[in-house]
Copies of this chain bind each other. A is one copy, B any other.
Amino acid sequence: MGRLPAYLRAVVDLVSLGLPSVSSDRLAEETGVNPATVRRDLASLGIAGTRGLGYDLRYLIHEIGLLLGVSEDWPVVIVGAGNLGRALANYQGLAARGFPVRALLDVDPTLVGARFGQVEVLHLDEMERVVGEAGVGVGILATPADQAQLVADRLVALGVSSLLNFTEETLVVPSWVEVRRVDLATELQILSFYQRRTTGARSGAGLPLGHESNP
């Protein structure tokens, strides 16, 4: 569920403020969600609060962290050591949040052997070995679009069950594989579409625009 990471972030912030617990109201305010929604979310996750007090922050972190798999490591490989791949490899937040980068892979011989962040660039041919040895379950695709499907197929064949796709390619994968696409241009399009709505786009009433924040 998309709100969980937001809850976790907020809760981590709050605990670092020295607070021992948090009310649904506060957590709601912190995340921009309705308080009732917060309570229902937590309740339905099996997380109980204390009436009159709120939710214990350490317990919240523990539980949500558990749900999000933060407690264990999910080793990842990044395929494609172009600018994007290198940026991702350098991103410290990854390992910090439980996603250690086990390899940065590319086919370009001028890149193989170079280091970015903590990671050395390996040749793509090493993928099979690295994925197997490191127990990688997540693949990050930062290749040229026309290579993405190919790489995805190889990763899937190795049992990698989560793919984060930074390319423009739409991936075809078995149903047990989770794919999320991160596309800068799509994000920007959505932004500009929202923006445009404030001006005179013929609306038509019925398309769920998924906008509007707190009324």
Interface set of A (CB-CB < 8 Å, partner B): 1-2, 4-5, 8-9, 40-41, 43-46, 67-70, 74, 76, 82-84, 86-88, 90-91, 93-94, 96-97, 99, 116, 137-138, 161-164, 168, 170, 175-176, 178, 180, 182-196, 198, 201-202, 204-210, 213
Contacts and interface: CB of A to CB of B under 8 A. Distances in A.
A192 B1 CA distance: 11
A195 B91 CA distance: 23
Contacts of A204: 43-46
Nearest to A161: B195
A40 B208 CA distance: 10
Given A91-B184, A184-B88, A207-B45, A178 B194 contact: yes
Contact of A44 (B193, B198, B207): B207
Contacts of A5: 183, 185-186, 189-190
A28 B82 CA distance: 33
A189 B69 contact: yes
B180 A187 contact: yes
Contact of A193 (B1, B138, B163): B1
